[in-house]
Structure 1
Amino acid sequence: MEFVSVRMITADVARLVAFYERALGVPATWATEEFAELRTPGAALAIAGTGTAPLFAPDSARPATNHSVIVEFLVDDVDRVHQDLTGFVSDVVAGPTTMPWGNRSLLFRDPDGTLVNFFTPVTPAALQKYGR
């Protein structure tokens, strides 16, 4: 089995895609006006409109209602990324903080309220875990 993507359902595909293009520094590949993907080396972030959710099952997904998932991205220097995003990301939950498990993390919310964690391993164990 291979993990390939996380798909977010949103009421405003263009707004959310533009946010992640800027935050990740990765251009989106659009399949339709209702579906785009941002590819990273490990997996893709798929963003789809509310009209796509019923294709799976009616009422299977509702936009902007996540309260349990954190989408995480490994970055080279979380402090530099934090500086780069200052003024762009308006809902920073926690500025760069070194966590007990060895990652330095920046936690913020995207325009739909989903928690996003950009992190950089900083301890020897965390660096080894991520092959750094």
Structure 2
Amino acid sequence: MNLVSIRVITDDVARLVDFYERVTGVRADWSTEDFAELRTTSGTLAIGSTRTVALFAPDSARAADNKTVIVEFLVDDVDGVHRDLTGFVTDFVAEPTTMPWGNRSLLFRDPDGNLVNVFTPVTPAAIAKFAR
């Protein structure tokens, strides 16, 4: 089994796609006005409209209602990303901080309130773990 993507459900696909394009620098591939994907070398962030939920199971997912998942992106320079996003991101949860497991992390919320972690490995063990 392979993890293919993480899908975020939203009431405003265009707004969320614009946000994640700015955060990641990756252009989205649109399938319909209700579904787009941002593909990176290691995974895909899919963004779907609440209208698509009915195709799977009505009322099984609600936009802007997540309190458990963090969308994470590995970057070369988390402090540089923080500088670039200051003035664009309106809800920083935590400034860049070096975590006990060796990643320097920046935590913020997307326009729907979902948590986003942008991080850079900084200790030898963390760097080795994420070596490409």
Relative to the length of structure 1, the TM-score reads 0.98
What's the CA shift for 1:53? 0.5
What's the CA shift for 1:4? 1.2
Identical aligned residues as a percent: 73
Structure-1 residue corresponding to 2:117: 117
Q: Does 1:69 align with 2:69?
A: yes
**Matched letter for residue 52 of structure 1:** T
SS of residue paired to 1:105:
strand
Q: Distance in 2 between matches of 1:89 and 1:2?
A: 32
RMSD across aligned positions (CA): 0.7
> Structure 1: 5+ residue runs without aligned partners?
none
Q: Does 1:45 align with 2:45?
A: yes
Aligned residues: 132
Following TM superposition, the consecutive aligned residue runs of length 4 or more in structure 1 with deviations greater than 2 angstroms are: none
Structure-1 residue corresponding to 2:8: 8
Q: Distance in 2 between matches of 1:22 and 1:131?
A: 25
**Matched letter for residue 26 of structure 2:** V
Q: Does 1:108 align with 2:108?
A: yes
Relative to the length of structure 2, the TM-score reads 0.98
Q: Distance in 1 between matches of 2:24 and 2:91?
A: 16
What's the CA shift for 1:54? 1.0
Q: Distance in 2 between matches of 1:41 and 1:121?
A: 18
> Structure 2: 5+ residue runs without aligned partners?
none
